[in-house]
Amino acid sequence: MLPSQPWFDLREGVLHAEGVPLPELASRYGTPLYVYSRAALQAAWQGYADALHGRRGLICYGVKANSNLAILHEFQRLGAGFDIVSGGELARVLAAGAQPETIVFSGVGKQAWEIRAALDAGILCFNVESAGELECIARVAADCGRQAPISLRVNPDVDAHTHPYISTGLKDNKFGVPIQDARALYHRARSLPALRIVGVDCHIGSQITTTGPWLDALDKLLGLIEQLAADGIALQHLDLGGGLAIRYTDETPPHPAELLDPVFAALHARGLGHLQVVLEPGRSLVGNAGVLLTEVLYLKRGETRQFAIVDAAMNDLMRPALYEAWHGVRPVRPRDDDTPETWDIVGPICESGDWLARGRPLAIAPGDWLALESAGAYAFSMASQYNSRPRAAEILVDGDQAWLVRPRETVHELYAQERIPGQPPHPEVRGP
Ligand code: LLP
């Protein structure tokens, strides 16, 4: 059993996703291949549902973590709302069947067309990140004769103790409105008839392993909410963003209840029990519901390091290159009788940064399949076609059944939209 991924389990020496042997999927669909487990999605969701147990809350799945329609549809079916950051994500969640009144729209650079689309859809709330954006939303809403529901994303200046690239709640970060400016901006919002104030929000970072930073942020937000109430500005919801960690290796992330219990307790203690609590979890709902399957192409023994060159690369799983992130590596058919050697798992891309894992003890040979663990979040959604590599296929496993939820891109699709000036579109040539 993968320690962090109970739905990806060894059965008779072969790694399975639920009831489906991974070699079957790798031979049928090729590699690299993302494989997701529906049961794992449901279990992660249940963690949040249990933590709420009937209290006033809304879990808005952070779509950027994995935006495949099948995943969105599953969460929609389970009762999730959605946290989106672009017009593209809005279109996706609507295509997956989302109820517009469960959608919150975050992001520092919302454009007029995206604001218009969200107003047309009738979303729950715009999480506004600056004074300029507040004015823009008011203008766009007035132009189309609507009232925009808004929340201010407050930057509480707390340290989430995570990787600097995924820390968002410090005053040095580009996100949110400084907490000391929030009150004045709420007053400005109140003066604009095209805006309707509905809440306050923050998002302090990602892969956060303790609840302390949220509770520090909460304390600051509650002070603001009380001040606003005294000014006659009543809020309906408090959105604490996403960020709950998952286990990649030996992390022990808090259960959602460990976050929500003190949040509800603090609200009640301060007479704010009427507020709806919103969370925007992404990674913790999908991260450990997926693996990335890859085939070992070549073993290369260098003078100082040994490289296992695989057919997945940084374009498929960017996290190691970008954040030096750690992903477990598991042979799909472990060679238990062979002595492990130490390998760097690297891709075919022409960059030294193209590595997926380093210094891993593994007994492997060319042709073996490996599972890169915890690849359900920020893997496919951050994938690119760099080096003209078609993006990999995605499979959703449900018990004994495997659904192809996104076919592998073809080589022709890589350039089908491109034009040589003065020439017609290039005809398809045979690709893999
Ligand atoms: N809400 C907002 C406003 C966000 O910016 C994010 C993530 C989330 C919710 C979801 O956070 P989560 O629960 O997934 O931590 N690519 C990085 C992670 C970037 C997170 C960006 N914002 C990675 O691979 O670690």
Residue 205: inside a domain, yes or no? yes
Same domain for 176 and 234, yes or no, is yes
Residue 370: inside a domain, yes or no? yes
Residue 427: inside a domain, yes or no? no
pTM: 0.96
CATH of the domain at 14: 2.40.37.10
Q: Best substitution site from 64, 128, 162, 211 to test ligand 1's pocket, by max atoms within 8 Å of Cβ?
A: 64
Same domain for 196 and 267, yes or no, is yes
| DSSP bridge pairs for 15 | 10
The residues lining ligand 1, judged by C-beta closer than 6 Å to any ligand atom, are 62, 64-65, 83, 106, 166, 203, 206-207, 241-244, 280-284, 319, 323, 378
Residue 93: inside a domain, yes or no? no
Let me know: does 348 contact 386? Beta carbons within 8 Å: no
Closest CA to 412 of 430, 398, 400, 399: 430
Q: Which atom of ligand 1 is nearest to the CA of 85?
A: 3
Q: Which pLDDT does position 1 carry in this prediction?
A: 45
Residue 311: inside a domain, yes or no? yes
Please state the domain count of the chain: 2
Domain final position from 279, 305, 323: 279
Residue 421: inside a domain, yes or no? no
Same domain for 161 and 193, yes or no, is yes
Report residue 371: phi and psi, to 5°. -105, 120
What does 247-271 look like in DSSP terms, one character per residue?
-SSS--PPPHHHHHHHHHHHHHHTT
* Domain extent for 326: 8-37+287-415
CATH of the domain at 173: 3.20.20.10
Residue 243: inside a domain, yes or no? yes
Q: Which pLDDT does position 429 carry in this prediction?
A: 64
Q: Which pLDDT does position 119 carry in this prediction?
A: 98
Q: Are strands 57-62 and 14-17 parallel, antiparallel or unpaired?
A: unpaired
Same domain for 194 and 141, yes or no, is yes
Domain final position from 216, 246, 279: 279
CB contact set of 240 (below 8 Å; sequence gap of 6+): 201, 202, 203, 214, 217, 218, 221, 259, 263, 277, 278, 279
Domain final position from 279, 313, 333: 279
Same domain for 302 and 265, yes or no, is no
Ligand 1 mean position to 261 CA, how many Å? 22
For ligand 1, atom 9, the nearest C-alpha belongs to 242
Same domain for 366 and 318, yes or no, is yes
Same domain for 171 and 293, yes or no, is no
Q: Which atom of ligand 1 is nearest to the CA of 242?
A: 13
Same domain for 131 and 217, yes or no, is yes
Closest CA to 148 of 187, 98, 108, 104: 104
Q: Which atom of ligand 1 is nearest to the CA of 243?
A: 15
Quote the tokens at residue 375: 């690849």
Q: Which pLDDT does position 163 carry in this prediction?
A: 73
Q: Best substitution site from 153, 206, 259 to test ligand 1's pocket, by max atoms within 8 Å of Cβ?
A: 206
Q: Report the mean per-residue pLDDT for the chain.
A: 95
Collect the ranges in the chain with pLDDT lower than 70.
1-3, 166-167, 169, 429-432
Q: Which pLDDT does position 430 carry in this prediction?
A: 59
Q: What is the pLDDT of residues 189-239, one digit of tens each?
A: 999 999 999 999 999 999 999 999 999 999 999 999 999 999 999 999 999
Same domain for 321 and 388, yes or no, is yes
Let me know: does 77 contact 57? Beta carbons within 8 Å: no
State what percent of residues in the chain have pLDDT above 90: 91
Same domain for 297 and 263, yes or no, is no
Residue 188's identity, in one-letter code, is R
For ligand 1, atom 5, the nearest C-alpha belongs to 203
What CA–CA distance (Å, rounded) separates 240 from 204? 8
What CA–CA distance (Å, rounded) separates 418 from 425? 7
Ligand 1 mean position to 174 CA, how many Å? 14
Same domain for 16 and 119, yes or no, is no
Quote the tokens at residue 151: 């929340």
Ligand 1 mean position to 418 CA, how many Å? 32
Other beta carbons less than 10 A from residue 403's beta carbon: 12
Q: Which atom of ligand 1 is nearest to the CA of 325?
A: 25
Per-residue burial over 164-177, b if 16 or more Cβ lie within 10 Å, else e, is eebbbbbeeeebbb
Catalytic (active-site) positions: 350
What Å distances lie between residue 11 and 19, 117, 182, 183, 332, CA to CA?
9, 48, 55, 58, 10
Q: Which pLDDT does position 3 carry in this prediction?
A: 62
Ligand 1 mean position to 374 CA, how many Å? 15
Ligand 1 mean position to 282 CA, how many Å? 6
Residue 303: inside a domain, yes or no? yes
Same domain for 291 and 232, yes or no, is no
Q: Which pLDDT does position 39 carry in this prediction?
A: 98
